[in-house]
Amino acid sequence: MEIKDFLIKMNDIPHVTGHEGEAAEALSAEFSKFSKAEIDVDKFGNMVARLKGNGGPKVMLSAHMDEIGMMVSVICDDGFVKFSCIGGIDKRNILAQEVTIHGREKVYGVIGIKPPHLIKAGEEDKSIDIFDMSIDTGYSKEKLEALIRPGDIITIKQEVAVLQNNRIAAKALDDMAGVAVLYQVAKNLEHYSHIADVYLVASTQEEVGLRGAVTSTYNIKPDIGIAIDVGFGRANGLGEHESVEIGKGPSICIGPNINRKLYEELKNTAVNNNTPYQVEVSPFTTGTDAGAIQMGEGGVITALLSVPLKYMHSTVETISLKDIESCAKLISDYIIGINNGKWEETLCF
């Protein structure tokens, strides 16, 4: 399966934080097609594909599979549905969107908006609070109560848009783009030998506290950890100091969350194999699975690679498929290049 097709397939499967089970099943089916992969879904719902090595270090690659979403909070007497947010929903972005409520059956609706003709003086510059929004399904309260209940998840109903220049736009590319990197790494390594024991982790509940990365790090006990997430792609209003360019390769992060030796090794791997890359400076915690991995099991040597993405946490997150390919190539080349005489040096902080 090509990367674009992989992302289109996963876009249609709900994977809101805490409700990633269907996505884990789909990912298990896809990764099990690789002959080297041993698949497991752990107690916390993380999908782990192990590519067995030959006496080398345990290398954990982690990209979170969960997406931001919403949850039914109240079914009102007039049939409208009130909702709460799971993760960092941007309230500017969900007005007038189509949604799917995943109840006993799928229920489709829209998040309505007051007509501009009826906006009162002074209201036009005010943002609307989430708790003032409602979903209109067309059903009565009695009909809805037979189909949905408080706690059911809600996703934006939006198909992948295929753009020009190898780019696509969709919801939840944060961080299904990173999971696509894992998929491509598995494909790249299918016919190569490597001494590293590679664990490809599609982690859960990153959007509410890196939880899946915490538990999977504890279970795997990796020697080396590399998180794969998305980074802020350059767009209108974002300067060079706070973003990276789409189409110019993944960013390799440097900062206190990152092991400097591993950072240099990844950079050298990119240079030696003519793989495009960029550098991202993060002086604080990165807010990614890298933070959880680094502090796991008494400390793990950790790096972060990011796929540039425009319009993060919106319904039109935009990436370049070429950046996913480059990120997967960089990781694959690094893993193939690990040898018995060198890798232990990396473990020395």
Mean pLDDT of 262-285: 95
User: Domains (ranges, CATH) in the chain?
Assistant: 3-67+171-346 (3.40.630.10), 69-156 (2.40.30.40)
pLDDT bucket at 196, cuts 50 / 70 / 90: very high
Provide the pLDDT confidence category of residue 346 given band limits of 50, 70 and 90.
low
* Distance, CA of 292 to CA of 216 (rounded, Å): 10
User: pLDDT grade, residue 187 (50/70/90)?
Assistant: very high
257 in helix, strand or coil?
coil
Residue 200 confidence (pLDDT) above 70:
yes
CA 214/CA 238 separation, integer angstroms: 31
* Confidence class for position 289, pLDDT limits 50, 70, 90: very high
d(CA 155, CA 106): 11
- Confidence band, pLDDT 50/70/90 cuts, at residue 129: confident
Mean pLDDT of the chain: 93
Q: What is the pLDDT of residue 140?
A: 96
Residue 119 scores a pLDDT above 70: no
Annotated active-site residue 206? The verdict is yes
The span from the CA of 226 to the CA of 264, in Å, is 13
- Type of residue found at 27: L
More confident residue, 344 or 319: 319
Greater confidence, 128 or 48? 48
307 vs 298, residue with greater confidence: 307
- For the beta carbon of residue 298, count every other beta carbon within 10 angstroms: 6
Q: Is 251 exposed, middle or buried (0-12, 13-18, 19+ CB in 10 A)?
A: buried
Q: Which of 206, 265, 317, 325 is catalytic?
A: 206
| 349 pLDDT higher than 60 | no
pLDDT class of 285 with cuts at 50, 70, 90: confident
Spatial distance between the Cα atoms of 221 and 297, rounded to a whole number of angstroms: 6
User: What would the pLDDT profile of 303-326 be if each residue is shown by its tens digit?
Assistant: 999 999 999 999 999 999 999 999
Is pLDDT at 340 greater than 90 in this prediction? no
Greater confidence, 323 or 95?
A: 323
Tell me which of 6-15, 74-83, 108-117, 251-260 is least confident.
108-117
pLDDT band per the 50, 70, 90 thresholds, residue 112 = confident
Q: What is the pLDDT of residue 118?
A: 63
Q: Is the dihedral of CA 139, 140, 141, 147 positive or negative?
A: negative
Say what percent of the chain tops pLDDT 70.
94
Handedness of CA 280, 285, 286, 292 (dihedral sign): positive
Residues 220/174, Cβ–Cβ less than 8 Å: no
The pLDDT of residue 30 is 97
Residue 221 has pLDDT above 60, yes or no: yes
Model confidence, pTM: 0.94
pLDDT greater than 90 at residue 32: yes
